[in-house]
Chains A and B, each alone.
Chain A
Amino acid sequence: MVVKSRSQAAHQRLCISERALGHNVTFHPATCDVLTFDVSTCDVQTFRAMKPHYAKYLALGLFLALAVLPLLAGLGYVLAYSLGLVGFRSAGLTLVHWEAVLGSTFFWRTLAFSAYVAVMTIGLAVGAALWMVVTRPQAFLQGSLSLFIYFPLSIPAIVMAFFVFQMLSGGGLLSRIGYQLGLMEGLEQFPGLVNDTWGIGIITAHFLMAAPFFVILFANLYDNEKLAALVQLARTLGANPRQAAWRVAAPVLLQRAFAAIVLYGLFVMGAYEAPLLLGSQSQQMVSVLTIQKLQRFNLADIPQAYVISVAYAVLVLTLAVWLLGRGKRGDAR
């Protein structure tokens, strides 16, 4: 196809691209006005070459300034602070804060507890969502459930934590119902489900937020990947409904959603609001411990808070790269 170019700006761009890339453009020898331009020779690379570079650099600069620089500057600052190089009471390079944190059992217990909460939450939420979608896929793709399943996503973490507290605490709704049903004689008999050492309240709050998210994700993937046809094929080849659901549909869903599962897991690991309301003092999650150390009146705790921040950042980034790398290798296979 050959078209005539009219605007001055387009003429200039086409002249430049013609000169740079030698594409099929004819132009007036004196004025450099483009006479004709063969679109079939203009591929993606040509178009990229035609783009004004200053706009690209401006856009990428803005991205770096708002998405990357704060993170790097923040990490650099807290690393320097934790090493005693900057900040109030800095006394030159020292590893004393790092030794204090890394040598403390409480820090490692906090990390392990955060990982435990993330694994439990994701395990339960993914398991429940997978079961719901592979057994009743159409229920979440059409009809009223396909709308109402979105509702829990409109509840922020702090409100969900408050709701779970009002449900599961000693004076909560479940305890009251238990009393009215004659299952117990007082709130002291109700098991401690919030502010407990096992993080049951935290896991419940995150489960209630994560399960609908994964149901929506799996239902959309089920539809996009045309798994209904695959399940039908498996049934034709002799698989029973359970085998078709769990040995055909479920592995595909898990593999396609692997990155989202990993990222959600890391998000739960760094969660703050629910652990703040539903956690216990003896068993904290990493965000709560960091902020608590940062906001204490003891100034010696601030470098330790920063040590935890840096250590946590290194840990989650390593985990993310490792897990997502594994997922990619799995996809390739």
Chain B
Amino acid sequence: MANRLIKYFFIGLLLFPFAFLLLLSLGRGWAYPDVLPQHWTVENWRFIWGIQAGLGRSALLSLSISLGIAGPVTLASFVVSKFIAYDRHRRRWLVLAYLPYVFAPVILAACLQGFFLRAELSGKVWGVMVAQLFITFPYGVIFFSGFWNEHMLAMEQLVATLGGTVRQAYARVLIPIARGALMTCFFQVFLISWFEYGLTTLIGVGKVQTLTLKVFQYVTEANIFYAALASCLLVMPPVVLLWLNKKYVFSRVG
């Protein structure tokens, strides 16, 4: 009984941030020392599609950037990681893939800002997408490096031995086997792009207003209800994906 209570308490703790943000997004007027907001309304949520706020537009922009990054990065990193995994210097290549993460994406963006300014990509959606490629693509390569093993090599050998072309090997054997891993990588790359703030701020110079920028904007404006609303929109897709099937979202490639 005590164990069960502890478990439910722990689950409550894990879910508390979501409940708190949702409550705050439905509130208005939260004067000190009230524990809960004085008024409850769905008006904040109607605000999403308000012309002035552009929260809906930000959500669509974030969605477009993340989907635009996740698809090509997943496919490209799937193919490139194969050559890296089978290369004799595999370990060295993978160390290089870790560098953007060790280095901190926002500092990487600071170093690259000059190039983006010269290329006139600064402050543009395309620029932000290119910059996000530099952190998502190495992630995809690291992700798939565990997928390419001796078993996959043997499968490919078998296809070649039986007269299959490289294209057939991908279409008929490798991609069907890797479907789960491809889905997982797609969602994870989507989330990296969806959650990205520092690099987007710097390369987008505040003009590319993704949802993460909106959260920060509302927080600095001390508009906690809209900040909570934007936060809810930000955490909703990953939570829905998780609820549908956790193995496709966060599980690692076996």
Q: Could you tell me the distance between the alpha carbons of A66 and B96 in the complex, rounded to whole angstroms?
A: 11
With an 8 A cutoff between CB atoms, is B65 at the interface? no
Interface residues of B in 74-104 (CB under 8 A from A): 76, 79-80, 82-84, 86-87, 93, 96-104
Chain A residues contacting B107 (CB-CB under 8 Å) are 270, 286-287, 290, 309, 312-313
Chain A residues contacting B1 (CB-CB under 8 Å) are none
CB-based contact A47/B156 at 8 Å: yes
Chain B residues contacting A42 (CB-CB under 8 Å) are 157, 161
Stretch at the interface among B39-47, B48-56, B173-181, B234-242: B234-242
With an 8 A cutoff between CB atoms, is A316 at the interface? yes
Q: Which of B82, B153, B198, B216 interacts with A47 by CB under 8 Å?
A: B153
Least CB separation from B96: chain A residue:
A68
CB-based contact A60/B215 at 8 Å: no
Min CB distance B35 to A, Å, is 5
Question: What does the 1/0 interface line of A209-226 toward B look like (CB < 8 Å)?
Answer: 000100010001000000
CB-based contact A62/B166 at 8 Å: no
Question: What does the 1/0 interface line of B126-155 toward A look like (CB < 8 Å)?
Answer: 000000011001100100000000100100
CB-based contact B163/A7 at 8 Å: yes
Q: A47-B160, A59-B79, A154-B235 are in contact. Are A166 and B20 (CB under 8 A)?
A: yes
CB-based contact A163/B20 at 8 Å: yes
Interface residues of A in 132-162 (CB under 8 A from B): 139, 143-145, 147-160, 162
Chain B residues contacting A157 (CB-CB under 8 Å) are 195, 197
Min CB distance A39 to B, Å, is 6
Q: Could you tell me the distance between the alpha carbons of A10 and B110 in the complex, rounded to whole angstroms?
A: 49
Q: A59-B83, A71-B99, A145-B7 are in contact. Are A152 and B14 (CB under 8 A)?
A: yes
With an 8 A cutoff between CB atoms, is A235 at the interface? no
Least CB separation from B218: chain A residue:
A162
Interface residues of B in 176-234 (CB under 8 A from A): 191, 194-195, 197-198, 202, 212, 215-216, 219, 224, 227-228, 231, 234
Q: Which of B10, B34, B234, B235 interacts with A145 by CB under 8 Å?
A: B10
CB-based contact B11/A48 at 8 Å: no
Least CB separation from A75: chain B residue:
B111
Q: Could you tell me the distance between the alpha carbons of A290 and B219 in the complex, rounded to whole angstroms?
A: 22
Question: What does the 1/0 interface line of B21-35 toward A look like (CB < 8 Å)?
Answer: 100100000001111
Q: A10-B160, A159-B21, A287-B106 are in contact. Are A148 and B197 (CB under 8 A)?
A: no
How many A residues touch B, CB cutoff 8 Å?
91
Chain B residues contacting A212 (CB-CB under 8 Å) are 14
With an 8 A cutoff between CB atoms, is B61 at the interface? no
Question: What does the 1/0 interface line of A314-330 toward B look like (CB < 8 Å)?
Answer: 00110010000000000
27 chain-A/chain-B pairs, Cβ below 8 angstroms: A3-B161, A3-B162, A5-B161, A7-B164, A10-B165, A39-B157, A44-B150, A59-B80, A62-B80, A66-B137, A66-B138, A67-B138, A71-B99, A145-B7, A150-B250, A159-B215, A159-B234, A166-B24, A263-B101, A266-B102, A270-B104, A272-B106, A273-B212, A276-B216, A291-B198, A312-B104, A320-B98
15 extra A-B contacts, CB within 8 A, seeds A37-B161, A166-B24, A166-B224 = A10-B163, A47-B157, A59-B83, A63-B80, A149-B14, A155-B235, A159-B21, A159-B231, A162-B215, A162-B228, A175-B33, A177-B35, A179-B32, A212-B14, A270-B103
A contacts, CB < 8 Å to B:
3, 5-7, 9-10, 13, 37, 39, 42, 44, 47-48, 50, 52, 55-56, 59-60, 62-63, 66-68, 70-71, 73-75, 77-78, 81, 87, 139, 143-145, 147-160, 162-163, 165-167, 171, 173, 175-177, 179-180, 187, 208, 212, 216, 220, 263, 266-267, 269-273, 276-277, 286-287, 290-291, 294, 305-306, 309, 312-313, 316-317, 320
B contacts, CB < 8 Å to A:
7, 10-11, 14-15, 17-18, 20-21, 24, 32-35, 76, 79-80, 82-84, 86-87, 93, 96-104, 106-108, 110-115, 133-134, 137-138, 141, 150, 153, 156-157, 160-166, 191, 194-195, 197-198, 202, 212, 215-216, 219, 224, 227-228, 231, 234-235, 238-239, 242, 246, 249-250, 252
